[in-house]
């Protein structure tokens, strides 16, 4: 039973990838995730210049969901160059450089800087719901805006494949993906966090997050992730790879997202609940299920729901 | 499904039911509830409308939790302005804790408000037949903490060091530790050997403790402080180079042999956006 996945010539030993924003602050923390089974790493969102996040509380959770409004803190491209450079010198697994900006122009500048470091892929965060106060509605909420960012980034990213990270908080994620694909997007990450949502403390009657609202993640959002991935896969006719992210805790969760169309699987919130070795656990569980069910290569699962539906129609 | 011990990751607000002004800057609050914390663990304390910070647990007897803090930033200063009956959000407990074997002879090194968790260790471990040498250090007499409480415990010998000599040994608590380890390892004395050293305090003190323990080949467990956000291993803000381990999860109490591999120990720490700051 083989778990490896090859995407644009890059081999991932297994489909699990550390999702952006989790454990993503230093080269040493990325290595720690790979030692614990991650098949690939996504950096946290990198800004052109220093960007302060929100005050605490920034991350809260129950066993069913997590809300975060960390606010994308980052020391800017200069530090990113150090950390990414350190990791790439002797990289144990592929690296996806995630970039964020408040304007199309800054997206281009940041992507250009990061592309020069030669990460395996670029991931473009046009969908964070936690910085709306600063930047207004995310680019991912409108097909023309998402397409414009994609077009601009493709002009500066050279031969690094560009993955656009999509928002689930829209009613036309497939159309938005298609608009990005028409401008040259090489793949998608679906989904970013849901909502935003809010949690209120009863005794103090105050919203708990300092930002009041935060992106919803964790087990509660998996069905939304599955549906969005299926929509993106269908809209792009399964031609572009998807990093499926959202509520993956177990090997069966990962396989379900693959059936919807994911080639790689982002894992984030589960790191807090199942431990840093969640990557290894998810892989062991995928291996176990596939072996029992006679699936020889995990890539046979990618988009298989669509094929099954087609075969029955 | 979870492999993580039970902890609350959603703050609940608790009422402050008792306030003790321990020194000029250090206050100890008792709350109307317990988080089931063990000695060395921390909680995230949320002052609604201000911020949330990690605080070390001074005591938790299963009915009430006690937190000690130094009023030094926006959040702890706001916390210090609060009174009995006011609400503070707490979640946790988080992280590793001090571990001992029954009957061990343990030296505790406490610097500044690091005396709070050391008092918790002493009061819990003596139930397991341990004998404790606790060395409390501070700049001067008025900054010493938990002396009466520590002195009242059975099987606990109190040693004091102040930089200015206003009480006890004039100099650093780590010097007292070194003298102690030297003496107990001298075959001619009858002082029983120290089995382990635990320490909590400023990083420069921890670094010195680590060196002394290595020199005398005594195992140690030290409590590290790093910038924290989530408290349970997600955000990665508190990782230490080059292992990338998280001080909220693989720490804050770290064994000496692991600290020996952490190059940044005693050299630098990272701020809220991940930039390195030298000590």
Let me know if residue B21 belongs to a domain: yes
Alpha-carbon dihedral A198, A202, A204, A205, rounded to 10 degrees: 50
Tokens at B249, concatenated? 């999860």
B45 and B21 in a common domain: yes
Is the same domain home to B41 and B124? no
* Chain A residues closer than 8 Å to B227 by CB: none
Instruction: Tell me the CATH number at B70.
Output: 2.40.30.10
Whether residues B38 and B112 fall in one domain: no
Q: Are residues B55 and B184 in the same domain?
A: no
Counting Cα atoms < 13 Å in the Cβ hemisphere of A140 gives 28
Of B65, B94, B123, which residue constitutes the final position of a domain?
B94
Total tally of structural domains belonging to chain A:
1
Give whole-number Cα distances, A278 to A18, A251, A311, B115, in Å: 10, 10, 35, 36
The pLDDT assigned to B1 comes to: 38
What's the CA angle centered on B248, arms B93 and A52, to 5 degrees?
A: 115
Beta strands in A139-248 (DSSP E): 162-165, 187-190, 194-197, 214-217, 242-245
Kindly report, residue by residue over A27-50, the tens digit of the pLDDT: 999 999 999 999 999 999 999 999
Q: Which of residues B69, B94, B119 is at a domain's end?
A: B94
B127 lies in the same domain as B231: yes
Q: Check if the beta carbon of residue B250 is closer than 8 Å to that of residue B239.
A: no
Question: Measured between CA atoms, how close is A57 to chain B, in angstroms?
Answer: 5
Looking at the fold, whether B74 and B143 belong to one and the same domain comes out as: no
Residue A200 with chain B: CB contacts under 8 Å:
none
Is residue A96 predicted with pLDDT exceeding 50? yes
Backbone angles phi, psi at A43, to 5 degrees: -70, 165
- Cβ neighbours of A199 in B, within 8 Å: 10
Per-residue pLDDT band for B6 (boundaries 50, 70, 90) equals low
- The pLDDT of residue B2 is above 60: no
Measured CA to CA in angstroms, residue A233 lies from A9, A187, A304 at distances of: 20, 10, 11
What does the block give as tokens for A98? Answer: 């995630």
H/E segment holding residue A267:
strand A264-267
Q: Is B100 inside any structural domain?
A: no
- Residue A313, pLDDT score: 87
Total domains in the fold of chain B: 2
Q: What is the CATH number of the domain that holds A104?
A: 3.20.20.70
Residues B54 and B152 in one domain: no
Q: How confident is the model at residue B5 (pLDDT cuts 50, 70, 90)?
A: low
pLDDT number for residue B4: 47
- Which of A25, A202, A210 faces B51 most closely, judged by CB atoms? A210
B126 shares a domain with B62: no
Give yes or no for a contact between B194 and B220, defined as CB atoms under 8 angstroms apart. no
CB contact at 8 A, A235 and A178: yes
CATH number at residue B137: 3.40.50.80
Look up the domain containing B80 and give its range: 8-94
> Which residues of A does the annotation mark as catalytic?
128
- CA atoms within 13 Å, Cβ hemisphere of B233: 26
The predicted structure's pLDDT at residue B266: 96
Query: Global pTM?
Result: 0.94
Same domain, yes or no: B47 and B147: no
Q: Do B273 and A74 touch (CB under 8 A)?
A: yes
**Domain-terminating residue out of B94, B118, B147:** B94
């Amino acid at each position: 039973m083989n778990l490896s996945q090859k995407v644009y010539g890059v081999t991932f030993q297994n489909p699990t990838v550390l999702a952006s924003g989790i454990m993503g602050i230093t080269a040493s923390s990325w290595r720690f995730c790979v030692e614990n089974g991650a098949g690939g790493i996504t950096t946290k969102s990198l800004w052109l210049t220093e960007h302060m996040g929100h005050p605490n509380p920034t991350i809260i959770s129950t066993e069913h969901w997590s809300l975060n409004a960390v606010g994308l803190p980052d020391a800017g491209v200069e530090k990113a160059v150090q950390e990414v450079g350190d990791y790439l010198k002797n990289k144990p697994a592929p690296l996806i450089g995630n970039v964020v900006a408040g304007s199309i122009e800054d997206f281009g500048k940041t992507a250009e800087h990061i592309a020069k470091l030669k990460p395996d892929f670029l991931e473009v965060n046009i969908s964070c719901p936690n910085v709306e106060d600063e930047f207004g509605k995310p680019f991912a909420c409108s097909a023309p805006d998402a397409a414009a960012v994609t077009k601009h980034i493709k002009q500066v990213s050279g031969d690094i494949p560009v993955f656009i990270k999509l928002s689930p908080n829209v009613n036309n994620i497939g159309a938005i993906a298609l608009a990005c694909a028409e401008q040259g997007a090489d793949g998608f990450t679906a989904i970013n966090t849901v909502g935003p949502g809010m949690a209120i403390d009863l005794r103090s009657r105050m919203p708990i997050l300092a930002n009041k609202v935060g992106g919803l993640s964790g087990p509660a959002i998996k069905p939304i992730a599955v549906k969005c991935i299926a929509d993106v896969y269908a809209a792009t006719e399964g031609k572009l790879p998807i990093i499926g992210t959202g509520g993956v805790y177990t090997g069966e969760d990962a396989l379900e997202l693959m059936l919807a169309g994911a080639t790689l699987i982002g894992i984030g919130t589960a790191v807090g609940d199942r431990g840093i070795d969640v990557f290894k656990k998810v892989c062991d569980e995928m291996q176990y299920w596939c072996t029992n069910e006679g699936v020889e290569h995990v890539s046979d699962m990618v988009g298989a729901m669509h094929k099954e539906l087609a075969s029955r129609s | 499904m979870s492999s993580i011990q039970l902890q609350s990751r959603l703050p609940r607000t608790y009422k402050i039911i008792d306030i003790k002004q321990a020194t000029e800057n250090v206050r100890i609050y008792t709350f109307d509830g317990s988080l089931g914390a063990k000695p060395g663990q921390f909680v995230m304390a949320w002052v609604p409308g201000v911020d949330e910070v990690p605080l070390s647990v001074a005591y938790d007897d299963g009915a009430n939790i006690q937190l000690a803090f130094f009023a030094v930033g926006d959040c702890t200063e706001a916390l210090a302005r609060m009174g009995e009956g006011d609400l503070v959000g707490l979640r946790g407990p988080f992280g590793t804790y001090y571990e001992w074997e029954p009957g061990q002879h343990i030296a505790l090194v406490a610097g500044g408000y690091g005396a709070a968790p050391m008092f918790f260790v002493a009061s819990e471990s003596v139930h397991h037949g341990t004998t404790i040498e606790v060395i409390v250090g501070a700049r001067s007499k008025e900054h010493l903490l938990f002396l009466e409480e520590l002195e009242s415990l059975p099987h606990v010998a109190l040693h004091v060091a102040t930089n200015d000599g206003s009480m006890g040994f004039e100099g650093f608590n780590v010097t007292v530790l070194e003298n102690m380890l030297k003496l107990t390892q001298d075959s001619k004395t009858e002082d029983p050997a120290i089995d382990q050293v635990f320490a909590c305090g400023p990083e420069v003190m921890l670094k010195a403790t680590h060196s002394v323990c290595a020199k005398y080949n005594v195992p140690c467990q030290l409590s590290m402080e790093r910038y924290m956000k989530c408290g349970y291993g997600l955000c990665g803000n508190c990782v230490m180079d080059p292992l990338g381990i998280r001080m909220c999860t693989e720490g804050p109490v770290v064994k000496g042999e692991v600290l020996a591999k952490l190059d940044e120990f005693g050299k630098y720490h990272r701020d809220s956006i991940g930039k390195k700051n030298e000590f």
